[in-house]
Amino acid sequence: MDAVAEAGPAIDPALRDAILDWYAAAGRELAFRATTDPYAVLVSELMAQQTQAARAAEAWTSWMARFPSVEALASAPVADVLRAWAGLGYNRRAVHLHRAARVIVAEHGGRVPSSVEALEALPGIGPYTARAVAAIAFGEPVGAVDVNVKRVLGRIVVGGAEGLTASSMQTLADSAVPRDRAADWTHALMDVGQRVCRPRRPNCADCPAIAWCAYAAGVRPAALVTGGRTGARRPEPAFESTNRWLRGRIVERARDADGWTRFDTSIGVHGPGAVRAAVIALARDGLLDARETATNLEARLPR
């Protein structure tokens, strides 16, 4: 039997009210939450992925002053877009946003589409971002599911997200959205996950969902009880040794230069061969222009 079906009613209306009341009193005040403009919401959602919300909010304010409309972003050179993205990391998101803006102008008359299907068809827009934009900007009753939402809803209903399949989780998230407050609900679940229902040491005593929460009542899904993972956890490699770190340093070096920059030496612990491979991969992803000269490899931000 499906875990959601075993759990009974998905979300009690009183639970919705408790979470929304908590959000009204304790929700984070972030600059991008003051607007439902679809383009502004799209920018904020892409910025907030894998970036602290406060940092994303600061960058969002500067971005919107620099590129106040879809048309302004679509007409900007890629190099300007990548420079404006400085400090946010995961530079591919900037390229995706720029490409999405061009598609919106070319195929949607400069208007961000409202349906999940049309949003997902944009470059770099996945299921979470599409649903978040649809809910926040257009009031569509769809559940945006990221790791925070999975944890919150999974713990409330069955004691942990491990007890739900991906499809059951999406069904649960969609059914939980109050039809008249989709944007507030989306923000509220994010804040519950960020501030109280943390991955480790959740602060259940301060959680608005405690009276309805299976996890707080001591319930754990079988995957947790039996231990879905076995063995010692592998230590994370030092960040400076990762390809992500190297790619970020290469883009930073190109961002700080006026023109072509040579990449023929080591960067950090990465030798010339690894640097060369990363530059070529970045060019393939559209984050750099690269060219071979008689003696070395050169790159710059795309024109």
Tell me which residues are annotated as active site: 45
> Residue 34 forms beta bridges with which residues?
none
Count the neighbouring beta carbons within 10 Å of the beta carbon of residue 295.
8
Helix (H, G, I), strand (E, B) or coil at 270: strand
Identity of the residue numbered 299:
A
Chain length of the chain:
303
Tokens of 87: 């400090």
On whether the CB atoms of residues 218 and 264 are closer than 8 A, the answer is: no
* CA atoms within 13 Å, Cβ hemisphere of 256: 7
- The single residue listed with the structure tokens 């971005």 is 63
Helix (H, G, I), strand (E, B) or coil at 263: coil
User: What is the spatial order of strands in the sheet that 261-262 belongs to?
Assistant: 261-262, 297-300, 289-292
Tokens of 63: 């971005």
* Helix ranges restricted to H, 67-203: 70-74, 78-84, 92-108, 116-120, 127-138, 147-158, 166-176, 182-195
Tokens of 275: 């640097």
Phi, psi (degrees; rounded to nearest 5) at 257: -95, 155
* CA atoms within 13 Å, Cβ hemisphere of 210: 9
On whether the CB atoms of residues 76 and 70 are closer than 8 A, the answer is: no
CA distance 254 to 22: 45
Count the neighbouring beta carbons within 10 Å of the beta carbon of residue 201.
6
CA distance 300 to 56: 26
